[in-house]
Structure 1
Amino acid sequence: MPRFCTHCGKLLKDDERFCTSCGTPVTDDGQASQSQEDAQAAVTVQSAHQPAPAPQPEAGATQQWATPAGSAPQQPIPTAAPQAGAPAAPKNNNALFIGIIAALIVVIIALVVFFMIKPFDKGTDDTKGTTIEKVKIDHDNDDASVKGDPNKLDDNDDDAHDATTISEQNVYDQLSSYYSRLSDLDQQVRDCATTFNTYYLKDDRSSRQSASDTAEALEDQIGDLKDEVEDLDVPIDSQNYSSWKDIITLYDDLENRIDVICDAWEISLEYSSPANHKDEIVAPLARDNVAGTNDNKYRLDFEDRYPGAAPVEVK
């Protein structure tokens, strides 16, 4: 039977193994084999009619080829396990990182909320504690006392009376101290008057100067004590209020009496022979005398006021 080249269609001789026209090999059954290019084209045409091959696996995985049409189903080849030391999938790492960040954000928000709310809770607790303490104190103040009248809740009236008594006692003690010094001060003023009458016309200047210094010191002492008594500021409702006023007046009497003696000494000391200036020297003494007499009005008031000015002790 005649043979033809399957590629170019040339009539082949019986003993030819290749087509003398195109060089295509001839098979034993008289059919020229397809060239490599035709085979590749056939494969391409065949592949076009088959579904797209599965995506190529990553490096290290076994390649899979599409099964030609009409061939028996091919068992799926399992993907090889990742090689030892291969890095984990980036997707899993990203998910873990995002999860950690989310957890940290939740913790931070919780802490911020906690510290923002806690001070208000503390203030509420403190206010509550203060209220409880206040209520407790108020109840303590209402407790009945066994002292005094059992029908009274407390002895506030008695306490007030005791405080008043203590205050009155304090006033009495202080006024008594200042009153007790008046008698001695009165005697010192009298002594200064006697010394003046003895030396104010003498030529002995040293004696006159010494007597003048004594009178000046006594005047300062009386003035200081008078200021102290005035500073006591005894309440007007005190039982010793009038006594306080009298004692102030008595110190004022003493101060005025010694003051005129000091003024007279100053004039006497201006002269080496004061005898010729008698009227001038004694002029200050006369200004405080009762009209038509030689009696000093402050001395008379002192003698009249002193006995009744003694403070009264409160029982």
Structure 2
Amino acid sequence: MKTLSRSRAVRTPGGLSLRLDPRSLIVVVLLLVAVLAAGVALIGTGDAHIPVMDVLRTLFGNGNPYQDFIVNELRLPRLLVGLLVGASLGLGGALFQSISRNPLGSPDVLGLAQGSTAGALVMIVLFSGSAAAVTAGALVGGLVTGLGIYLLAWKQGVHGYRLVLVGIGVSAVLTAVNGYLITKADIVDAARAVVWMTGSLSGRDWTQVWPLLILCAVVVPVVLANGRALRMLEMGDDVAYALGVRVHRVRLVLMTCAVLLTAAATAAAGPVGFVALTAPQLARRLTRSPGPNLVPSLCMGAVLLVTADWVCQRLFGADQLPVGVVTGVVGGAYLLWLLVGERRAGRV
């Protein structure tokens, strides 16, 4: 009750009522400042170092031709892909964790990343597909996997722990399938597949930016419009029904949005591990709010991925270490810590 008392209700001119939490608002602003700072630092980092002030001048159109090419053609698209992928994974993870009412209910655990990987590997190994074909395969694989998990978990509704357990089983099966596809590939395709499976922002350009940007522009408003209903779903289906929420419809819409966000992010950058798991949990701890924390999770995901990419380049040089390695190490350690906490609480 103490947390709820800090909230303020605001009514927009169109009659829409919004609940604002001052602490959450401050956290979002600080995260936005952090992601802007990390983004500027990332653009200036690489084999050709560019000072921060020169980066800012170039972004505002006052740089020389050399800096303009490096910043706007090479590094800015990579940064935007990182921001969009991180934001998509953070928001998708928050949706899955809220729908399942389980901190382990993230795309990494549920097998969506493995489904996207399977789709990409089919295009690489069986068809030697182009980059566009691999992206399409990853997107289709993620969508099919999400649909399969939902249908397998359905039994007069989708229970949180049943969703997680089904997802873990599907993830195990798809991991075996992916291993089989790698063993059937020739050495060139296998090397290409392994690089993609690590998760990387290297070589990303404007062709990856626009589809992901359009998807986010469509899906994110739908998610935010259903934020109030999602908050009620966290209190249980019976309570949500009593408050007038169309539970099955809202859950299906939000799960579809979460699958689209996760699959599109994986198609754009590969299976970048554990951002979807850690971003919502870190956002919740910063805001100290019991709700789904959709906007803070979105911002936290962007901060985590861009910062991880900057760390990779600062410590190991440009494109020497895929960003998925850093997020995997940090996220894996966080997952172990989270499991220990769940075990002590008697929930696993």
Q: What's the TM-score, normalizing by structure 2?
A: 0.20
Give the structure with the larger helix fraction. Answer: 2
Larger RCO of the pair (alpha carbons < 8 Å, separation 6+): 2
Larger radius of gyration: 1
